[in-house]
Amino acid sequence: MSSSPDLIELVSPHGRARVSRQGAQVLDAQLQGRPLLWLSPLALFEAGKAIRGGVPICFPWFGKHPAGLPAHGFARNHDWNLLEQRADRVCFELRDDPRSRALWPFAFRLTLAITLDSRLHFDFRVENRDTQSFDFSYALHSYFAVGDCRECSLDGLAGRLRREVGHVTTPQPGSIALALPIDANFESAPDPLALHDGDRTIEIAAEGMRSAVVWNPGAAAETVADIGRHWPEYVCVERGNIGAATVTLLPGETHRAGMDLGWYEKGR
């Protein structure tokens, strides 16, 4: 357990992870003695500002907002309430308040349970506590720690429509080679996805999350204060529901989804 009330350490026979109360965000994680999630060495730990790395929660919208509201919503910048804590598990809650309603005028309840075992598991739930239906999109914005992103590739998205700003939307032709910068949305994605990193494969499995996003800006990130020269050290492969997969909830309904992360040696 960390001495800070806002930072929780999870431990299991298989690894460790650190979780921040801000954003209910896993900051970094190791499994089987190797890093699974990447936390930028230049990450800015400032109240109310996004922390670069781990698994930020983008909610109730993903990406830029058409009205100029904060990108990726507000959930990653708010402190969540701690509901449950064990050595290998933690559960958080976020409810609407005056800050959230100023940006998104609905009554809601989010819960996120994070469990560390042989894999890292996320159980994500959104409850509509309002008197009217609402739409939302979201993503679990996972930063995976890799040896060098330019030598990595991603399998599982062949044939799925790939959407990028300024590009024609086309089906993905086979594996995604990550030698070049990428910011690609797949509103419909299968399960699981496989990120190949040297002698291992990171497996990203999801339930109830129809979309995927693959992102690393390449050398352009050297001008970003909290990434800089460390950009080759990660690849973002996100799961959630965005674009055409946006979720509509009626009053009283709950959306449930999950994500499992782990890795295995090639040739297993």
Cα separation, 96 vs 144, whole angstroms: 30
Q: What is the dihedral of CA 11, 258, 65, 250, to 10 degrees?
A: -130
DSSP string covering 113-169, please?
A: EEEESSSEEEEEEEEE-SSS-EEE-EEE--EEE-S-GGG-EEES-TTSEEB-TTS--
- Measured in degrees and rounded to the nearest 5, phi and psi for residue 166 equal 80, 5
Q: Give the list of residues 6+ apart from residue 67 with CB closer than 8 angstroms, or none.
A: none
Catalytic site residue 141?
Answer: yes
Q: Which stretches within 15-114 are classed as H helix? A: 98-103
For the chain, the straight-line distance linking the first and the last C-alpha, in angstroms and rounded, comes to 34
Catalytic site residue 238?
Answer: yes
127, 141, 187, 230: the catalytic one is 141
Which of the residues are catalytic?
141, 238
